Amino acid sequence: MMQLESQALELDILSPTKTTIMVIGGAEDKVHGKEILQTFFYRAGGVNGKIAIIPSASREPAVQGDKYRNVFIGMGAVNIKIFDIRERYQGEDPIWLEYLEDCTGVFMTGGDQLRLCSLLAETSLMDNIRSKALEGKIALAGTSAGAAVMGYHMIAGGGSGSSPNRSLVDMTNGLAILPDLIVDQHFHNRNRMARLLSAIATHPDKVGIGIDEDTCALFEGENQIQVMGKGTVTIIDPVEMSYTNATKVGVESPLSLSNLRVNILCHGDGYDLYSHTMKPGLSETITPLDS
């Protein structure tokens, strides 16, 4: 626990910020240090928090909801409600909106991102969650499928391991919580670089974020990303992209992309989406490439 608190202080995860939106690559540690889940717990108010768990992406929402409830109870949470929403009309139920009034944290579990969006997109519940998260009134976290839905454009599925091509990725609309991003999860673990590149080729006005398992991109303040966890966050930034053949070739033809910025970030590193620059962790030393 002392090591966890030290890491938390190093990343400044205990101090309040304008926003706390945690995009988690999936398979986060639920047993040992639980660093990412602890961070959400602290940001959501700790033992004084009021947490909502949304397991709607899962085919077994009751099982998923109980799993995370037990994790947060083990951390000291006493006020937790599972939003077991299985039909779209339930997103308009006043019981959820009433609980959300003084809620301090919302956690969206993994499963199927298409299922999650079909149930929650354009509901009063999701509109309320989005506005509260962006106003800094709640901490919002999503893992795996719960991370994939964060952008306006969402990766609904696709392949891995191939060279970039438009048939490699299926796109649809997400929940537009972080509308300028396209998120992919289980990233290096499932070899998904090519499909994220394919998504960016067809949406060059967005920034691609690929998040490894047990790794989190923490969005806070104005356009700031901070990385925590055991893996890496890959940022594909097309701000200076000078060419792609995406509109000129068939859906199964290889894609060319020129002058992309690709940044690989690990625990403690940051990225400024406004200036398009990486901010290495304070404890890290930059080694010149020609040394």
Catalytic residues: 144, 186, 213
With contact defined as beta carbons under 8 Å apart, do 270 and 279 qualify? Answer: yes
Tokens of 276: 């398009």
Tokens of 225: 């990303």
Number of Cβ within 10 Å of residue 3's Cβ equals 9
Q: Are strands 261-265 and 233-237 parallel, antiparallel or unpaired?
A: antiparallel
Under DSSP, is residue 117 helix (H, G, I), strand (E, B) or coil?
Answer: helix
Residue 8 backbone phi and psi in degrees, to 5: -60, -45
Please name which of 273, 270, 210 lies closest in space to residue 12, comparing C-alpha atoms: 270
Number of Cβ within 10 Å of residue 222's Cβ equals 10
With contact defined as beta carbons under 8 Å apart, do 165 and 195 qualify? Answer: no
